[in-house]
Amino acid sequence: MFADPPAASGTNRLKKFCAAAALFSCIAAPLAAQAGSASSASSSASSGALAPGGKARGDLIGALVDSVHGRALADATVTVLGMARHATSGNDGMFRFDSLPAGTYTLSVAHPLLDTLGIDINSRPIVVAPGRVVVVRLSTPSRSAIRESLCALADAELTPGIAVGRLRDADTGAPAVAASVSLAYIELRVSPTTGVRRISHVRRAAVTADGRYVICGLPARLRGTLQATRGADATAEVAVVLQDDTLLLRSMTLGSASLTRDAVPSSPADSAVRLRALASIEGRVIGIDAKPLAGAEATVTGTTVTGATTEGGEFSLRSLPSGTRELVIRKIGYESVTLPVELTRREPRKVAVTLLASTPTLATVQVKGTRENGLKQAGFLDRKAMGMGYFVTPEMIDSLRPRALSDLLGTAPGIQVTTTDWGTQIQSTRSVAVMKDACVNVFVDRVPWSPIRAGDLDSAFPVADVVAVEVYGGNSVPSEFTMLGRTCATIVVWTRTSIGKP
């Protein structure tokens, strides 16, 4: 197995990598003159306009290349150091400074990609001559160069994947020191003897003093969730995908929920601890026809804050925790939308969401019998239709023929089932900040239930009495199953007692 190296050393190496004059075109270099190109104009111009004070001017044209993704680097900010001159690169990566006084200049480039990688791009000195056009080219390091610099010990063939990003405090913008980032994913292994096995992995990395993290030695393809934690604070579990590009770039923000003690007038000796969360989000929901959608539900997972859109499709959610969160928009008859949002106490976050009408791909479900009616009344069918979690239906139970309730949870994402000498132990695959590792909340027929020892869930609820099961990650739990102070994975079990016999 590959051990993650300290992120600080890799990040520093990468900065030095890009500072080296001869490596990766991180410095500016004049392009070779080509017929019909802008650089050829520099040899034909003989004079230029005079700057104030009689100093002649010249022009500077540049191209920015994103070598990580093999395309132009658009929307980057290019600054002439020592001057109040800025330019923004276009979709083609081009930028231009006209009428620069003749002299020697250094360019600096800023872009979210560079910030995530921890790269500073500053050019070599560029001489602008009177009446001349100078053409420069700047580019980021390639993926292979980044891998070699940050993860030199990783197996480039078997585990070439890298996750890298920056973690900041959502309210101050400062690096989120003393934090960690974890990546949870499922690996499928196929063997002639054991068949297909689902193996849960959780990789962790400490955040360095400058707010960066690096996780090396990942498979080339994975689907998982990324989460940052610090003490009692945690971001949402952000869905991420790593494909053949082998480089996962994701920066996040971490909120710091402040606790205040408010004196209780009736009992001055006592105090009530209340969570003060001041971030907010405002948005508008429309359909594919651009018309506003009224009655859509908006919620931030992991909180009890919900709201409905107005006739104009607008909604507002307040008293939210800051940081990287997950916004969910749902409406019956439409496909739900889940998207990460960066919330801060400094200003409301504004979003625009478009919902697509659900396309019926299956025959209309005819709700028949007491069992189906019971699941509908419990909200199971609505939550399943909205794709809020992992659902075990009565039909799945009938086909699986499980021996115990825990058999139904073995394939649930985020849940790890382990057989011990004392019974079956059910845990979350991810450590959650405010509780002990691998915490799981259990509801049975909507009532919270706490096991005492391993195997209690199986012994207390025979699988023959189980009608359906719902499973949710720690930050995607519906408000009706949220337990204050327990941000854990949640299992909801429905039995014949509440749902009824078929």
CATH of the domain at 325: 2.60.40.1120
Question: Are 375 and 306 part of one and the same domain?
Answer: no
Structure tokens given for 132: 């001349």
Is 202 contained in some domain? Answer: yes
Q: Which residues pair with 165 in a beta bridge?
A: 213
Question: Are 484 and 376 part of one and the same domain?
Answer: yes
Is 14 contained in some domain? Answer: no
- Identify the domain boundary among 294, 327, 355: 355
Q: Look at residues 147, 215, 157 and name the one whose alpha carbon lies nearest to residue 184.
A: 215
Is 444 contained in some domain? Answer: yes
Specify the number of domains making up the chain: 4
> Which amino acid is residue 88, in one-letter code?
T
Is 20 contained in some domain? Answer: no
Structure tokens given for 249: 């770039």
Taking every pair of C-alpha atoms in the chain, what is the biggest distance, in angstroms? Answer: 94
Is 271 contained in some domain? Answer: no
Is 2 contained in some domain? Answer: no
At residue 416, the 3 state secondary structure works out as strand
| Residue 53, domain CATH | 2.60.40.10
Hey, how many other C-beta atoms are within 10 angstroms of the C-beta on 159?
A: 17
> Which amino acid is residue 228, in one-letter code?
A
Q: What is the pLDDT of residue 351?
A: 96
| Residue 386, domain CATH | 2.170.130.10
Residue tagged 């959610």 (tokens)? 317
CA pair distance 464, 443, nearest whole angstrom: 18
Structure tokens given for 324: 């990287």
Question: Are 136 and 215 part of one and the same domain?
Answer: no
Question: Are 485 and 396 part of one and the same domain?
Answer: yes
CB distance 425 to 417 below 8 Å: yes
Question: Are 149 and 112 part of one and the same domain?
Answer: no
Q: What is the pLDDT of residue 37?
A: 30
- Identify the domain boundary among 140, 168, 189: 140
Question: Are 195 and 178 part of one and the same domain?
Answer: yes
Question: Are 165 and 227 part of one and the same domain?
Answer: yes
- Which residues have a Cβ under 8 Å from the Cβ of 23 and sit 6 or more positions away? 17, 141, 145
Q: Measure CA of the first residue to CA of the last residue in the chain; give whole Å.
A: 49
Question: Are 88 and 133 part of one and the same domain?
Answer: yes
- Identify the domain boundary among 328, 355, 382: 355
CA pair distance 265, 271, nearest whole angstrom: 9
H or E stretch including 146?
helix 143-150
Q: Which domain holds residue 427?
A: 369-499
pTM: 0.62
Question: Are 380 and 413 part of one and the same domain?
Answer: yes
Question: Are 438 and 478 part of one and the same domain?
Answer: yes
Is 362 contained in some domain? Answer: no
Q: Look at residues 242, 176, 173 and name the one whose alpha carbon lies nearest to residue 206.
A: 176
Is 272 contained in some domain? Answer: no
Half-sphere exposure of 392 (CA within 13 A, CB side): 28
**DSSP, res 304:** S
CB distance 119 to 93 below 8 Å: no
DSSP states of 331-397 as a string? -TTB--EEEEEEEBTTB-EEEEEEEPBP---SPPP---HHHHHHHHHTTHHHHHHTT-SEEE-HHHH
Q: What is the pLDDT of residue 265?
A: 40
Q: What is the pLDDT of residue 157?
A: 73
Q: Look at residues 378, 236, 345 and name the one whose alpha carbon lies nearest to residue 299.
A: 236
Question: Are 347 and 375 part of one and the same domain?
Answer: no
Q: What is the pLDDT of residue 437?
A: 45
Question: Are 348 and 414 part of one and the same domain?
Answer: no
Task: Return per-residue pLDDT of the chain as tens, 502 residues.
Answer: 344 444 444 444 444 434 332 323 333 333 332 222 333 233 333 334 444 444 588 999 999 999 988 899 999 999 999 898 999 999 999 999 999 999 999 999 999 999 888 888 899 999 999 999 999 999 998 888 888 888 877 776 778 889 999 999 999 999 999 999 999 887 766 767 766 666 778 899 999 999 999 999 898 888 888 999 998 888 988 888 887 668 899 999 998 654 433 333 444 433 333 444 589 999 999 999 999 999 999 998 878 889 999 999 999 999 999 999 989 898 888 888 889 999 999 999 999 999 998 765 444 444 345 788 889 888 898 888 877 788 999 988 888 888 888 888 877 877 878 776 666 778 777 643 333 446 888 999 888 887 766 677 888 888 888 999 999 886 678 878 877 666 688 999 999 888 865 4
Q: What is the pLDDT of residue 55?
A: 57
